[in-house]
Chains A and B, each alone.
Chain A
Amino acid sequence: MTAIYSIFGRISETIEKLAAIHRLLPWILAFALLLPLPQILSALFNDYYIYLANKICIFILLSVGLNIVKGFCGQVTVGHVGLYAIGAVSSALISLHFGWSFWLAFPIGILAAGLAGIVVGLPSVRLEGAYLALATLGLGESVRIMIAVTPLFGSSTGLLSIPAPTIGSFTFDSYTNYYYLVLAAAMIGIYLSFSILRSATGRAFMAVREDTVAAAVHGVNVTKYKLLAFVISALYAGAAGGLFAHMPPGYIHHNNFTIIEMVTLLLMIVLGGIGHIWGGIIGAIIVTIIYDQTLEFYFYQPLLFGLTMVLIVIFMPRGIGGMIDRYLATKKFIASQEEKSNAAS
C-alpha cells in the first residue's frame, strides 16, 4: 500500500515540477505518452483492449463531468445519464438527417446537452439531497423513455449507421483511430476540470457545497453557481454522448442510457472519491476493467457492484482519491515538521 502511495506521491511531485516550467507541459507529455497505447495493447493483448481504452476515455469524460456538479458543487444528481443520451442522440440525428460533419454535429450535441443541463439544474434551486436526487432521476429517465417511444430518435430499433468522424481522407472508423479522438477529448476534459477547480468559479462551487447560507452571505450567487455546475457537467456529458454515438459501429439505443448505467457511473466517482478529479479518473478505469473482467459471471455482477458500493461508503467514504489526498497531506505535514525540527536544532 505504501508503495502505491509513494508512486502517486512521485507522480504528483513530477506533475508539479513540470507545471512549474509551463502549465500545459504535463498534459502534453501525458498525451504523448498515451498516444502509442493502442499499439502496445495490440502487441501485448489484442484489439479488444483498444475498444476498452476508448470506453474508458468516454467514461472518464462522464465521471469528471459528474464530479463537477456532485463533487465540487455538492449537488446530488442521478440524471446525468439522460444528458449523456441527449448529447448522443442530438449529434447522431444531425449527422444522419442533415448529413452534417461530426465536427458540426458534435458541438451542437454538446450545446443541446448544456441547455438540457439548465432544465435538470432548475430543481436544485429549490430542492436538496434525496428530493433533488429524485427530481433528477425522473428527468433522466424521462429522456430515455422519450427516446424509446419517438421514432425520430431511434425508438425501439435505435439509430443505425451513425457516421464516423473524418479529417480529410483520415477516418476515425477503427478503434485505434478513434482512440486518438477520445483520448484528446478526455485530456481536454480533465485539464478544463482542473482549471475550473482552481478558478474563482471552482472556489464558489466549493463554497456552495460546504454551506449555501455561508456562501450567500459572502456574496456567492448560489442559484447562478448551482445552475452553472449543472450546465458545465451537462456539457461534459454531451461530449461523452457524442463520442459514444459516433464510435464504431455507430449505433445507439435507448437501452444504453438506463438507470443501471447511471449507477455504474456513480460507482466510478464513489470509488474514485467524490470531489477528486484523479479519483474520478481512477474510478472510471477500475470500474470499467472490473466490469469487463466479470462479464462472464453475469449473474453475480449486480451483487458484486452493489456490495462494492456499500463497502466503499462504509470503509472508504472518501474513495481512493481521499486516501491518496490523506497520504499526501500527511507526508507534507511530516516533511514540514521535520524541516521545523531541523531548523530548530
Chain B
Amino acid sequence: MSIFNKNFIAAGMAGVFVAGMAASAMSADIRVGITMRMISENGQRYGQMVMDEIDMINESGGINGNMLKATLMNDECKSDKGVANAIKLINQQKVHILIGSTCSSVSLPIVDITEKAGVPQIIPHSTNDKITKKGSAWVFRVPVSGRYYAGVNAKYVGENIGKKIAYLCAADAASQNDCDAMQSQMKSQHGADPAYVAQVQEKEVDFRTHMQKIKSAGVDGIMIAALAETMARALTQSYEAGIPASVRRIGSSSASNSPVPSIAGDAAKGVFFAAAYAAADSRPIARLFNEMVKKRYGVNSPDHDFSQAYDLVRITEIALKNADLKLDDENLAADRTAIRDAIANVKDYNGLASGPISFCAAATPQCRDGNRTAVLIAYTKGGKDYKTEVLARVTMPIDFGL
C-alpha cells in the first residue's frame, strides 16, 4: 500500500472520529452527567439507583418527548478525580445538568467548576454546609445540610440524654463537619463542652484506647461520627471495652447506611442518629419504596442515601419537564440556565424525604439547602434484618446554623 493510501485512510479515520464526536454532541437528548463514589457496595447501589430511575423515565417516554442520556463516572471520593469528571462531563459530554457528588470533599471543588461553566449542579448526598455557603447560583442540595442535623441531634441529646458527651470523629469531610457542628450546637444550646474528643482516621480499625478513656470519663453519651464501616467497628469496640448500653451511642448521618447495623450487629441496637429518611416511615410511598429497593438491590431497609438518590431524580424530572429546552448546541448555555431556574422553582416537593423540599433563586444556603426536615431514628435491632424506630421528626428554621 502506498504512503498516499495510508495517509488517506488515516485522514478518513480521523474524519470519522471527529464527525462522530460532533454528532454525539449534537443529539437532541437531555444529557445528564453523574459523578459519584462508586467504590463501596452501597456507593455502587446509589449510583445504580440514579441510572435505573433515569432508564425508567426514558422507558415511559422521556421528558417532554426527549430522552435522558446519562453518563455515570466514579470519583472514588477523591477531589481531583471528581474535578476531572466534572470538567470532562461539562466540556466533552456537554451535559445539561450535573449530579454529584456523594462525598462533600468532592462536591466542594466541583461547585467552583459548575459555577464557572454555568452548569446546574444538584447534590445527592453531601451534607457539608460549606457547599451552599460558597454562594454559587448553580448549586442545589437535596440532602439535609449538616447544620440542621447538628441542631436536631443536640436538642434531643441535651433534653433526653445528658450534657456530658464524648466525641469520636473520623477524618472525612462529612463526619468532621457533623462532629464540629454537634459540639458547637451542644455549646450554644446547652452550654456543654465536650467531655472527650478524639480524631481518628477515615478507615481506622482500632478504637480500644479511646473507648477505655471514654469509659473512665463516665459520659452520658458517645457521638461516633464516621463512615459506615468505621462507625460499625467503633460501636462494636465500645461494648467490648465495657461501656454499658445506658451510655447512649449517637451516630453521625452515615449511621443510616445499612453496613452499620449489618456489621455492628447487636452493638447497633439503641444507636440513634438524624437522617433525611426513615425506613420505618409508615407512608404508602415509603412502603412502596422499601419494597422496590429490596427487590432491586436486596436491601431490607433502605437508608437515606437511597431515598435521596430517588428524590434527586424526581426533582430533576420535575425541573426538566418545566424547563423550556431547545436542546441544540447553540442554546446549550440557555438550556442550562433554564434548568437551573426550573430547579429553583421547585417548591414543596413531597417525596421520600421526611419533609417538603423547596428551592429558590437566591444563591444563598437558605435557598439552596432545600431539605430542612431531619428525622431522628434509632435502631431497635441490629444485624442483616435490622429494625428502626422514629424518635422525632423536626423541621428546622431556614436560617439555623448560619
Contact = CB atoms under 8 A, between A and B. Distances in A.
Contact of A253 (B74, B105, B112, B199): B105
B80 A158 contact: no
Contacts of B172: 156
Interface stretch (A105-113, A243-251, A306-314): A243-251
Contacts of A55: 84
Interface in B73-101: 73-74, 76-80, 83-85, 87-88, 90-92, 94
A55 B71 CA distance: 23
Contacts of A250: 109, 112
Q: Which 7 A-B pairs have the closest CB atoms?
A: A249-B112, A251-B109, A156-B176, A298-B74, A48-B91, A46-B91, A148-B171
Interface in B177-227: 177, 199, 201-202
A55 B80 CA distance: 10
B73 A296 contact: yes
A302 to B, nearest CB: 10
Interface of A: 44-48, 51-52, 55, 145, 148-149, 155-158, 160, 175, 248-256, 258, 292, 295-296, 298
A155 B176 CA distance: 9
A160 B108 contact: yes
- Judged by DSSP, the binding face of B is helix
Given A160-B130, A253-B78, A256-B79, A295 B88 contact: yes
Contacts of A248: 112, 116
Nearest to A297: B74
23 contacts: A45-B92, A46-B91, A46-B94, A47-B91, A48-B90, A48-B92, A145-B201, A148-B171, A148-B202, A149-B199, A156-B171, A158-B108, A175-B87, A249-B109, A249-B110, A253-B78, A253-B79, A255-B78, A255-B105, A292-B88, A295-B74, A296-B71, A298-B38
B108 A251 contact: yes
Contacts, number: 96
B79 A158 contact: yes
Given A47-B87, A295-B85, A298-B38, A251 B112 contact: yes
Contact of B79 (A46, A52, A251): A251
Contacts of B130: 157, 160
A249 B83 contact: yes
B317 to A, nearest CB: 24
B131 to A, nearest CB: 10
Nearest to A255: B78
Given A249-B113, A298-B73, 6 more contacts: A46-B91, A148-B201, A156-B177, A157-B108, A157-B130, A160-B109
A294 B71 CA distance: 14
A157 B202 contact: no
Contacts of A255: 77-79, 105
Contact of B87 (A48, A145, A158, A258): A48
Interface in B149-181: 170-173, 175-177
Q: Which of B84, B87, B177 has the most CB of A within 10 A?
A: B87
B180 to A, nearest CB: 9
B167 to A, nearest CB: 14
A292 B38 CA distance: 16
A172 B245 CA distance: 57
A52 B84 CA distance: 8
Nearest to B104: A157
Contacts of B108: 157-158, 160, 251
B13 interface: no
A249 to B, nearest CB: 4
Contacts of A160: 108-109, 130
A237 to B, nearest CB: 16
B253 to A, nearest CB: 14
Contacts of B170: 156
Contacts of A45: 21, 92
B45 to A, nearest CB: 14
Interface residues of B, number: 40
A27 to B, nearest CB: 29
B292 interface: no
B25 to A, nearest CB: 9
A44 B84 contact: no
A158 B77 CA distance: 13
B66 to A, nearest CB: 23
Interface string B20-31: 010000000000
A254 B106 CA distance: 12
B391 interface: no
B18 interface: yes
Contacts of A155: 171, 176, 199
A156 B79 CA distance: 12
A256 B116 CA distance: 22
Interface in B217-267: none
B128 interface: yes
Nearest to B71: A296
A268 to B, nearest CB: 16
Contact of A157 (B112, B116, B128): B128
Given A44-B18, A295-B85, A156 B105 contact: yes
A149 B171 contact: yes
Nearest to B39: A298
A207 B202 CA distance: 43
B145 to A, nearest CB: 14
A141 B74 CA distance: 24
Given A149-B171, A156-B176, A255-B78, A51 B84 contact: yes
A266 to B, nearest CB: 18
Given A149-B199, A156-B171, A295 B105 contact: no
Contact of A48 (B38, B77, B88): B88
A149 B170 CA distance: 9
A52 to B, nearest CB: 8
A256 B202 contact: no
Contacts of A256: 78-80
A249 B90 CA distance: 15
A47 B105 CA distance: 24
A155 B202 CA distance: 11
A46 B92 CA distance: 6
A251 B83 contact: yes
A293 to B, nearest CB: 11
Given A46-B91, A149-B199, A157 B83 contact: no
A198 B65 CA distance: 66
Contacts of B199: 149, 155
A45 B173 CA distance: 35
Contacts of A157: 104-105, 108, 128, 130, 173, 176-177
Q: Which of B71, B113, B172, B177 has the most CB of A within 10 A?
A: B172
A158 B85 CA distance: 19
Given A51-B84, A249-B113, A256-B80, A156 B73 contact: no
